[in-house]
């Protein structure tokens, strides 16, 4: 611990508190060093509380001695009085734009153009510096004799806005370069952005304060940087990564892009570590593929990668075309967000009766596919986002994730927009829709007996690949069989004959034969698959296997008490209650009987499936309200992956999952240095298991 101004004396390397000038200089150097470690090196060197203490001490010193004020003091990052407007700034060297490419062919073509431009023999591969394309705002930082003197947005490339006061609040940006011999003038170019976690925190604050939320991190970064009152910017955590250069006076230009970034790093400027130098089109495409798989795990959003001819000399030989350098290319991911119109909001009934509001959309191409439906998750989510029928909305489709409605466009809401009303009766079977007190999800109370939607969902699940694996029994076939009243339960499937099947739409004799054969084949299964196929709420594949190996036969599972269920590795109270509830329904017990009578069987005495689940031994504590999951749902997901959910935080807690209005448990977790996850973090953790399989 460093001595503070107030604890009466110095020790170690810290200067004596009595000499306040020296002390202030030491504090500035120390705080700047910690900022650098945190933001540029991604390697924090001091707990936040200690940083705040040193910071407070410096602030006090500066108040007592106003003559101290140094422009590179970290206390200068708190913002200044609002500006009437931003001044225009003309860039000494224009900030160029980047050409775009989308498919592999564009990249091969880029490489060919580069080689043609350089008159290089086809055999010689070009070295390309490859890096991420941040989805933020391009900015120019002017350093004179190592001191940050001005910052301007890119604007139209020739003129931008003077945002110096705002930029000075960004802790990632050094106010003074780390160099004893800095260039006279250096224009650093890079991107200002907001990390996903900081974006989530900002929106949480906006929500609590009943202010409008930002649609995405880019908008949040833009909104924060374009504040005339830099004190507001100071409260938002913005970041910066350097990737280019403008004017350089008083130093030698580094010979390559990679050398430029290495040099920046030594100057204390943050440079993204996801970069490399590769050879030729194959190298560039390899990098693109790698980044694509990592994308969701990065702490910030990117919209592609950027390729740059590495050697400065070659860059200069290539020159420019219409404001874009011929030496660089952005390889973009398909846009993940697009705007479209909500034609209607309907509800969907799932296998467990869960009622999900779904927006019917005017078709829009997003994330590489045409989207006509997007989930609105649940009733509260529709309210919170205030999505109405007729709204223009932003739709997001990231990777394989189901499309969702992000937000509506307020400026385009018409007077005829209609709010969504949650139906009180199931649109499919007319049973009452009920919503339990602490659940986010409303459910149709009809069960599979009354509700064809649940029946269909249950049958689809039963036949699915990881359950009974009935090949050829698709969703549309199941729909027809249920709608025509041919089948009701899974046991009825095994009574289907070729004649009945062949009479259905789009079913030839041959396909009917195949389905019957597939049904026959599916009768030989494992107990784990069979339990999973029953579709018990909260009993996923892993839990089903666990039950199978623990009890060894289905009758023991049916008869198990809550205590006995809790003895199963990794089954917690939520899952246990759900299993009890399932088998307390006589119809479910009868279904099991009928299936066995129809000839479904599994080998007895399965070899113990002992593989422990990936969250075994990990303890979680839930606190606050999560955006889309109820406590029970979150608990069930954790338990299904082998984790335990506990009520209070201790040193033994592995993770605290915190939502809005998290209270003392969160504070306790922070004190004990327990890892904290938000809902996204939890999902990422849970999904990390799939990645391994």
Residue 187 is a binding residue for ligand D41 (CB under 6 A):
no
CA distance 342 to 362: 7
Looking at 306, 355, 554, 645, which residue binds ligand D41 (CB under 6 A)?
306
Residue 38 is a binding residue for ligand D41 (CB under 6 A):
no
User: Which residue's CB is nearer to ligand D41, number 134 or number 462?
Assistant: 134
Instruction: For the CB of residue 133, give the shortest distance to ligand D41 in the complex, in Å.
Output: 4
Looking at 111, 127, 187, 191, which residue binds ligand D41 (CB under 6 A)?
191
Could you tell me which of 415, 456, 414, 450 has the C-alpha nearest to residue 432?
450
CA distance 681 to 669: 16
CA distance 263 to 371: 45
Residue 198 is a binding residue for ligand D41 (CB under 6 A):
no
Task: Find the binding residues for ligand D41 in span 202-231 (CB under 6 A).
Answer: none
Query: In this structure, are residues 30 and 46 in contact, taking their beta carbons and an 8 Å threshold?
Result: no
Instruction: For the CB of residue 216, give the shortest distance to ligand D41 in the complex, in Å.
Output: 15
Instruction: For the CB of residue 131, give the shortest distance to ligand D41 in the complex, in Å.
Output: 5
Looking at 328, 349, 666, 685, which residue binds ligand D41 (CB under 6 A)?
328
Instruction: Write out the catalytic residue numbers.
Output: 133
Looking at 97, 314, 526, 654, which residue binds ligand D41 (CB under 6 A)?
97
Residue 347 is a binding residue for ligand D41 (CB under 6 A):
no
User: Which residue's CB is nearer to ligand D41, number 167 or number 547?
Assistant: 167
DSSP-assigned beta bridge partners for residue 245: 188
| Length of the chain (residues) | 693
Residue 515 is a binding residue for ligand D41 (CB under 6 A):
no
DSSP-assigned beta bridge partners for residue 70: none
Residue 325 is a binding residue for ligand D41 (CB under 6 A):
yes
CA distance 207 to 238: 19
Q: Is 130 strand, coil or helix? A: strand
Q: Output the CA torsion sign for 152, 153, 156, 160.
A: negative
Residue 133 is a binding residue for ligand D41 (CB under 6 A):
yes
365 phi, psi to nearest 5 deg? -90, 115
Could you tell me which of 447, 441, 489, 461 has the C-alpha nearest to residue 597?
489
Instruction: For the CB of residue 332, give the shortest distance to ligand D41 in the complex, in Å.
Output: 10
Residue 96 is a binding residue for ligand D41 (CB under 6 A):
yes
CA distance 400 to 367: 9
Looking at 36, 86, 110, 134, which residue binds ligand D41 (CB under 6 A)?
134
Looking at 98, 371, 629, 641, which residue binds ligand D41 (CB under 6 A)?
98
Query: In this structure, are residues 523 and 601 in contact, taking their beta carbons and an 8 Å threshold?
Result: yes
The strand pair at 337-349 and 354-366 is best described as: antiparallel
The strand pair at 159-161 and 88-90 is best described as: antiparallel
Looking at beta carbons, which residue is closest to ligand D41?
244
Site string for ligand D41, 241-260 (x = CB under 6 A): --xx----------------
Instruction: For the CB of residue 325, give the shortest distance to ligand D41 in the complex, in Å.
Output: 5
Residue 131 is a binding residue for ligand D41 (CB under 6 A):
yes
CA distance 234 to 443: 45
What residues make contact with ligand D41 under the rule CB under 6 A? 96-98, 131, 133-134, 138, 154, 191, 243-244, 306, 308, 325, 328
């Amino acid at each position: 611990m460093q001595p503070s101004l107030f604890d009466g004396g110095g020790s170690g390397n810290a200067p004596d508190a009595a000499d306040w000038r020296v002390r202030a200089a030491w504090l500035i150097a120390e705080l700047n060093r910690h900022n650098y470690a945190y933001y540029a090196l991604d390697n924090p060197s001091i707990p936040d509380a200690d940083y705040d203490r040193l910071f407070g001490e410096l602030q006090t010193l500066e108040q007592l001695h106003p003559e101290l004020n140094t422009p590179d003091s970290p206390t200068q990052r708190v913002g200044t009085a609002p500006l009437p407007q931003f001044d225009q700034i003309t860039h000494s060297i224009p900030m160029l734009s980047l050409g775009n490419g989308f498919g592999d062919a564009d990249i091969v073509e880029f490489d060919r153009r580069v080689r043609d431009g350089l008159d290089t023999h086809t055999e010689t591969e070009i070295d390309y510096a490859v890096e991420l394309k941040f989805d933020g705002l391009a900015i120019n930082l002017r350093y004179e004799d190592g001191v940050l003197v001005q910052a301007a947005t890119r604007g139209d490339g020739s003129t931008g806005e003077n945002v110096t006061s705002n930029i000075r609040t960004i802790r990632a940006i050094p106010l003074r370069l780390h160099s004893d011999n800095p260039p006279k003038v250096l224009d650093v170019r890079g991107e200002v952005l907001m990390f996903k976690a900081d974006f989530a925190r900002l929106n949480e604050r906006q929500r609590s304060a009943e202010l409008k939320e930002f649609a995405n991190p880019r908008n949040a970064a833009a909104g924060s940087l374009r504040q005339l009152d830099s004190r507001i910017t100071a409260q938002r955590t913005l970041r910066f990564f350097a990737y280019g250069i403008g004017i350089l006076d008083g130093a030698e230009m580094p010979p390559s892009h990679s050398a430029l970034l290495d040099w920046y790093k030594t100057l204390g400027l943050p440079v993204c570590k996801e970069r490399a130098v590769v050879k030729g089109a194959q190298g560039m495409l390899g990098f693109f593929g790698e980044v694509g798989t990592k994308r969701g795990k990065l702490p910030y959003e990117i919209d592609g990668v950027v390729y740059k001819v590495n050697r400065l000399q070659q860059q200069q030989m290539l020159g420019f075309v219409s404001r874009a350098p011929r030496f660089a290319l952005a390889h973009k991911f398909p846009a993940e967000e697009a705007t479209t119109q909500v034609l209607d909001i309907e509800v969907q009934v799932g296998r467990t009766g869960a009622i999900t509001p779904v927006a019917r959309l005017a078709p829009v191409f997003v994330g590489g596919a045409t989207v006509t439906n997007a989930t609105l998750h649940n009733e509260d989510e529709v309210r919170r986002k205030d999505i109405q029928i007729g709204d223009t909305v932003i739709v997001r489709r990231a990777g394989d994730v189901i499309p969702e409605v992000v937000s509506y466009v307020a400026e385009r809401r018409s007077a005829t927009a209609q709010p969504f009303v949650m139906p009180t009766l199931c649109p499919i079977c007319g049973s009452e829709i009920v919503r339990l007190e602490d659940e986010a999800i409303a459910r149709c109370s009809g069960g599979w007996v009354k509700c064809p939607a649940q029946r269909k969902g249950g049958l689809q699940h039963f036949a699915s690949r990881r359950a009974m694996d009935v090949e050829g029994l698709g969703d549309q076939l199941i729909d027809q069989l249920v709608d025509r009243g041919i089948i009701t339960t899974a046991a009825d499937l095994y009574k289907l004959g070729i004649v009945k099947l062949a009479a259905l739409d789009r079913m030839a004799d041959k396909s009917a034969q195949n389905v019957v054969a597939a049904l026959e084949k599916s009768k030989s299964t494992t107990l784990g698959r069979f339990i999973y196929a029953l579709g018990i709420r909260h009993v996923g594949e892993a839990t089903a296997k666990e039950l199978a190996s623990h009890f060894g036969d289905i009758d023991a599972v049916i008869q198990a008490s809550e205590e006995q269920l809790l003895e199963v590795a990794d089954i917690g109270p939520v899952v246990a209650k759900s299993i009890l509830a399932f088998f307390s329904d006589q119809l479910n017990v009868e279904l099991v009987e009928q299936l066995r009578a129809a000839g479904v069987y599994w080998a007895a005495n399965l070899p113990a499936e002992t593989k422990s689940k990936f969250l075994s031994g990990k303890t979680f504590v839930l606190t606050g309200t999560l955006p889309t999951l109820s406590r029970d749902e979150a608990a069930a997901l954790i338990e299904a992956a082998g984790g335990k959910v506990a009520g209070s935080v201790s040193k033994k807690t592995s993770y605290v999952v915190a939502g809005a209005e998290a209270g003392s448990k969160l504070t306790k977790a922070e004190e004990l240095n327990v890892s904290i996850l938000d809902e996204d973090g939890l999902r990422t953790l849970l999904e990390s298991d799939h990645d391994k399989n």
